[in-house]
Structure 1
C-alpha cells in the first residue's frame, strides 16, 4: 500500500484573513513612509548639489552629545547610530511577529521566502566580489548590495498606482524582514571594532533585565525607555553598531496576547513606533546619508570603478537572479505550486523591485568605507543601482497591472459591507481558516 501523495501548497495564494489584516496595516505605514523617504532623498540630492551644499555639510557634520559618556556624535552619526536603532527595533518586532504568528512560524511555509531572501543576499555579494575581482577593486563593500528597502519599493508601487495582490506584497515584506535580519547579523559580525567587554557586558545585562520585565508582565513605559537608552548607549560604547540593540529589544518583546489583553507589548510598541520609524527616522537618515555629488564625473566613476560597478551589478543583477532563482528552485523542490492567477514573470518583477537597496545599503556603505570620499562613491552607486532597479521594475509591473487590478478588486470586494472581503466568506467558510491552499 502506497502513501497518499502530499498536498501541494499554493505559493502566492490568498492570505488567511488575520495575516492579511496584519500585512495591510504594516504595508500602509511603510508606503506612506516610503513616499516621505523619496522626498527626503530628493531634498538631500538637490541640497548637496546646490550652491548651499556647504550648509548641508556643516549641519551633517555638526557635533553634539555627552562626551563624558562617549556620545559626542555628528548629526549624520546620530541619525545612523541613534535614530536607526528605532528602525531596527521595529524590524525586530516584525521579525518576531513573523516567527511567532506570521508567515515564518510554519517551517514548510517559511522555507520558500527564507530561501529566496537568503539567495537574494548571497548572490549580490558574489556578483560584487566577482566584479571587483575582475577589475582589481576593494572587496570591502561585498555586503552593500545585499539589502532590500521595503519602504522605497512600496513608494515606487504607490507612484505607479499599482494594485499588486496582497500575497505579492506580503512576499516582498517577508523578503525585507529576512533581509533586515541578515543585515543586522552582518553589521554585528563584520563591522565591529575596538570592543569594550565591560560596556558589552553592561548592555547584555540590560537586555536580560528587559527580558525579565517582559516575563513579569511589567507594562509601564518608564521602565523600558531609560533601560532601552542605556542598552543602546552601552552597545555603542561596546564597539558593536548600536542598531543591534534595537533588533535585540524587538526580538525580546512579547508578541502573544495574554487573556484579557487587547494588544501584546510588541503590538503596542509597533503601533506607536512604526509611523515614527517610517515617517521620521528613515527619512531623516536619508536626508543626511543620500546627499552625494551627482556631477557627470561622479556618475561616470560609478560605471568605471570596480567597487561602485559591483554595487550596481549586485543590486540590479544579483538581487534579481538570486531571489528569482531561489524562489523557483525552492518551489520546485518543496512541492509548492504557483497561484494559477499569476505567472513566474510576476515573481521576476518582484525580484527586480527588490533590487532597491536604499536605507540599509547606505548604512553598510558608510561602515564598509570609513573614508568619506570612498563612501560618497559607494552611496552614489547605491542610488544609481536602486534607480535602475526601480525603473526596470516599473516597466515590468505596469505591463501586468491590469491583471493585478482584477485580482486586487476580487480580493477586496465587500458587497455586504461587514468589513470582511466576500472572498473569505464563500460557501460559509470561516475567514480565519482560509488562505494558503486555495
Structure 2
C-alpha cells in the first residue's frame, strides 16, 4: 500500500518540483549544456537536421523545430511572466507606484547602457549595426534561480525588484523585436486586439472554462504570428489580461490557477527545449580563436557584463536620487549592485534576438557564443557578490 501511495503521489511531487523557482533555471542550464555537448560531437549532423526539420500543414503553416521552440513554446514562458507581473502590480508589492518605478527605471538603464556599450565596442565592424539589441534582455528564469540559491538571507523585496526589472527589460526587448524585425499586418493585429478584449470581458463575467480560454489563446498567438509580430507577446498580453483578485468563496484567482497549471510545463519543457535548440554552437580551437578576435561577439560580452551592471545600478540610483522611485525599506545599495551584475544573464531573449538579427550563420554562432560567455561571467560574478552579501547579512543578524 505504501508503494502504491508513493506511485500515486509521484506526478504531484514532480509538478511541485517544477514549480520550485530554482528548477526552471537549472533545467535551462541542462538544456543549454546538452546543446553544446551534442553540437560538438558526431551527433551534430543529427542535431542540425532535427533543428531545421519543418513541421506544420504544407502550404499553409510551416515552421522549423527551432522556430516552434522560439515562437510557440516561449509564449508559455511569457504567459507565466505576464501572470506574475499582473499579480504583483494589483495585489503585491508593486501596488506602490513609486516602488514599482525604481526597477522599471533601472530596467531602462539596463537597456540603454548595454546597447550603447555594445555599439561602441563593435563600431566599424560588419554586423555592428545589428548587435546593439542583443545584450538588452535579462533571462528571468536563469537570474531568479541564481538569486534563490545565493541570496537566501537577503530581503524578499530583492526578488520582486529583480522580477520587475527583468520583465520590464524583456518587454523592452520584445518591443524592439516588434519594431526592428516585424512588418505588422493590420487585419491580424486587429484580430489579436479583439481576442484580448474578449478575454478581458470573459474574465470580468467570471467565465472560468478552459475550453474557452485555450482556443482563444491559440487564436491570439496565431493572429500575432500572422501579423508578423513576435508571437511570444501574446503570452504577456493574455497574462496581463487575466484577473488576479479572488472573489468571495473562490479558492484561488484565475491568474493563480493558470500560473499553477502552466508553470511546470514552462519550466520543465518549454524553456529547456528552447535552450536546447538555440544554444548549440560549435566550440573548438578555430571557433574560439574567431570569437576572441570578433569585436561584434565581444561587444555582446561587454554589453551583458559591464553594460547591465552599470546601467541597472545607475538607473536605480537616478530614480532614487530624483524622487522618481522609492527603494524598499529593507533593501540596501550593495543588494542592488549584486542584482545589477546578475542582470547580465541575457540567455533566452538574447539568443532569440541573435537569431532574428543575424542571418549569416557563422556570425550568428559567434554572437551566440558571446551571449553564453557574457551570461556565464555575469552569473558567476553576480552569484559571488550576492553570496558574500548574504553571508554578511546573516553574520550581522547573528550578532544582534
- Per the shorter chain, which TM-score range? 0.7 to 0.9
Choose which of 42, 65, 68 in structure 1 pairs with 2:56: 65
Q: Which deviations, in whole Å up to 9, do the C-alpha atoms of 1:389-419 show, x marking residues without a partner?
A: 1222233233334224457999xxxxxxxxx
Q: Which deviations, in whole Å up to 9, do the C-alpha atoms of 1:160-214 show, x marking residues without a partner?
A: 5854432222222221121222222222222213x43333333333223222222
With structure 2 as the length reference, what TM-score do the two structures score? 0.88
Q: Tell me, in whole angstroms, the C-alpha distance in 1 between the residues paired with 2:149 and 2:73.
A: 27
Per the TM alignment, residue 267 of structure 1 is displaced from its structure 2 partner at its CA by 1.3
What runs of 5+ residues in structure 2 fail to find an aligned partner? 1-15
1:182-201 to structure 2, matched below 5 A, reads: 182-193=172-183, 195-201=184-190
1:131-170 to structure 2, matched below 5 A, reads: 131-133=121-123, 135=125, 137-157=127-147, 163-170=153-160
1:136-285 to structure 2, matched below 5 A, reads: 137-157=127-147, 163-193=153-183, 195-285=184-274
Q: Tell me, in whole angstroms, the C-alpha distance in 2 between the residues paired with 1:327 and 1:54.
A: 46
Q: Tell me, in whole angstroms, the C-alpha distance in 1 between the residues paired with 2:43 and 2:166.
A: 35
Per the TM alignment, residue 277 of structure 1 is displaced from its structure 2 partner at its CA by 1.1
Per the TM alignment, residue 157 of structure 1 is displaced from its structure 2 partner at its CA by 4.4
Q: Tell me, in whole angstroms, the C-alpha distance in 1 between the residues paired with 2:231 and 2:172.
A: 16
Choose which of 66, 70, 77 in structure 1 pairs with 2:67: 77
Per the TM alignment, residue 98 of structure 1 is displaced from its structure 2 partner at its CA by 2.5
Choose which of 361, 366, 376 in structure 2 pairs with 1:377: 366
Aligned equivalent of 2:296:
307
Q: Tell me, in whole angstroms, the C-alpha distance in 2 between the residues paired with 1:186 and 1:105.
A: 27
Aligned equivalent of 1:42:
33
CA contact (8 A) 1:95 1:178 kept: no
- Secondary structure, counterpart of 1:64 in structure 2: strand
Aligned equivalent of 1:32:
23
Report the number of matched residues. 384
Per the TM alignment, residue 341 of structure 1 is displaced from its structure 2 partner at its CA by 7.6
- Secondary structure, counterpart of 1:239 in structure 2: coil
- Secondary structure, counterpart of 1:273 in structure 2: helix
Matched, 1:92 2:74: no
- Relative to structure 1, is the Cα distance of residues 304 and 196 closer, same or farther in structure 2, using a 3 angstrom cutoff? same
Q: Which deviations, in whole Å up to 9, do the C-alpha atoms of 1:203-231 show, x marking residues without a partner?
A: 33322322222222211000011121122
CA contact (8 A) 1:137 1:305 kept: no
Q: Tell me, in whole angstroms, the C-alpha distance in 2 between the residues paired with 1:386 and 1:337.
A: 29
Q: Tell me, in whole angstroms, the C-alpha distance in 2 between the residues paired with 1:32 and 1:139.
A: 36
CA contact (8 A) 1:30 1:150 kept: no
CA contact (8 A) 1:250 1:266 kept: yes
CA contact (8 A) 1:94 1:177 kept: no
Per the TM alignment, residue 123 of structure 1 is displaced from its structure 2 partner at its CA by 0.8
Bigger helix share: 2
Matched, 1:345 2:334: yes
Q: Tell me, in whole angstroms, the C-alpha distance in 2 between the residues paired with 1:67 and 1:231.
A: 22
Q: Tell me, in whole angstroms, the C-alpha distance in 2 between the residues paired with 1:211 and 1:408.
A: 46
Matched, 1:395 2:387: no
Q: Tell me, in whole angstroms, the C-alpha distance in 2 between the residues paired with 1:201 and 1:250.
A: 19
CA contact (8 A) 1:96 1:250 kept: yes
